[in-house]
Amino acid sequence: MPEKPTSGELFGVPYNFERPSLSNMLKAYWQPGEGMLVEKPFGVGYTLNLANWRSWIVLAVAGVLLWQQQKGGEEESSEDEAVEVVVDE
């Protein structure tokens, strides 16, 4: 029985299930001169290239959105009080 490949491309999406080393992880996430998205060092798909300035903007926007969501959740919890509704017939 032939062995299944541990890395390659399926329908245009890269995959890699080889055990990553620390140096490979650093090389995968920091690739100067490449685009914003690079192949993941382990798993399926793409990840952010931290050597590209656009990736830092994406991370900053995601951080702000997460902060706003958590801040909004705290304010809503104080407004969740029981309300009595009286209906006249």
Total count of domains within the chain: 1
Could you report the per-residue pLDDT of 46-87, keeping only the tens digit for each? 999 999 999 999 999 999 999 999 988 665 555 567 888 899
Does residue 85 belong to any structural domain of this protein?
no
Identify the burial level of 4 via C-beta atoms within 10 angstroms of its C-beta, where 0-12 means exposed, 13-18 middle and 19 or more buried: exposed
Whether 65 is in a domain gets the answer yes
Among the ranges given (29-33, 40-44, 50-54, 70-74), the one the predictor scored with the smallest mean pLDDT: 70-74
Which tokens belong to 1?
């029985």
Confidence check: pLDDT of 1 > 90: no
- Is the residue at 83 inside a domain? no
What residues make up the domain containing 62?
A: 7-76
Higher local confidence (pLDDT), 61 or 4: 61
In a domain, 45, yes or no: yes
pTM of the predicted protein model = 0.65
Is residue 61, in this structure, part of any structural domain at all? yes
The DSSP code for 46 is: E
Does residue 17 carry a pLDDT above 80?
A: yes
- Tell me whether residue 1 is in a domain: no
